[in-house]
Chains A and B, each alone.
Chain A
């Protein structure tokens, strides 16, 4: 018997990364901009997405959404009210979405008909940061009720995101939310991050967010 050391140098999530890479190519080929929404539970992802989907539909922009949850299909039913195709991904207790789950749930959809695909991740600020889902943009949400220092407590996920969205701005005053401090904390862990302060209830900030999406869409697909 001989004992020896074998160099491996392999990423543990290689398999997920590989599936995500193929997925990204496929989605790009279909002309889709894919957005992965991450946040803690209860930060308003579903309400924010609902408003986003509804506005896009009213503008005549074909959009689809996948929504991940530990159990229940409540979120999918809420999102479907916006009048766009929605599928629920039930993770059966798993704390994050993986690229394979996205691929499986795209089956049966003609991707060429959509302009945008939104993925609502499982509410969790820890695990989803490690898993690439083939998205173009990772958007992290922070609600005013969570406090300004959340980005400092969960720097990993904020650092891994491309855009930050502050939600429930209609509650900012009663919560004594300090927007400036929140933005400073976000940018401390992710310098230069674009931030949108929004309210899905009043619609404030939604126009800026949607025009940002449009810019990304144009930029991404002009270069291809």
Chain B
């Protein structure tokens, strides 16, 4: 029998990733809906997401899952704006923060000292949302502003 390990592995990996980002997308809908309702919103137009490259979330897969997860919710047809954040480490030798050019090498780009002191790059958070809020007099029939 010929065994093609990559054939099944790639499929499985892709499926798992999509599933993971889909559940992240559902969590986003939950968080955003709570905040939007509390603010009296009737619709969410866009969501701004801060996504660190070490967050473990793949941007493309999340964007794919977002559409499915937002259907029939306050977020339906909203735009997902992803702000990707590179890794920033603190280098004790330089006594400064520096942006890592590659996450395959956690060394200070200036002096090459290894550092695992991550100051940015694990973010997976909603920064802000753009919402539609009815005016105060909306829905109060027969009680126009005087």
Instruction: Give A residues with C-beta under 8 Å from B.
Output: 1-15, 93-96, 124, 126-127, 129-130, 152, 155-157, 159-160, 187-193
Contact = CB atoms under 8 A, between A and B. Distances in A.
Given A11-B124, A95-B19, A126-B20, A189 B103 contact: yes
Nearest to A2: B133
A157 B106 contact: no
B32 interface: yes
Contacts of A14: 31
A188 B45 CA distance: 41
Contact of A160 (B30, B56, B105): B56
Contacts, number: 126
Nearest to B129: A6
Contacts of B45: 3
Which residue among B24, B57, B130, B135 has the maximum number of chain A CB atoms within 10 Å of its CB? Answer: B57
B131 interface: yes
The prevalent SS among residues of B at the interface is mixed
For the complex of A and B, the 8 pairs showing the least CB-CB separation, nearest first, are A191-B114, A127-B20, A129-B56, A130-B56, A95-B16, A191-B116, A11-B125, A155-B103
Given A4-B130, A157-B56, A160-B56, A13 B124 contact: yes
Contacts of A191: 106-107, 114-116
A104 to B, nearest CB: 17
A3 B40 CA distance: 12
29 contacts: A1-B132, A1-B138, A2-B133, A3-B130, A4-B130, A6-B128, A6-B129, A7-B128, A8-B35, A9-B126, A9-B127, A11-B125, A12-B124, A12-B125, A13-B24, A13-B124, A14-B31, A15-B27, A94-B19, A124-B16, A130-B20, A130-B24, A152-B104, A155-B54, A155-B103, A156-B103, A160-B56, A188-B107, A191-B115
Given A4-B130, A11-B125, A95-B16, A127 B56 contact: yes
Nearest to A95: B16
Contacts of A8: 31-32, 35, 126-129
A94 B132 contact: no
Nearest to B45: A3
A14 B54 CA distance: 17
Contacts of A94: 19, 23
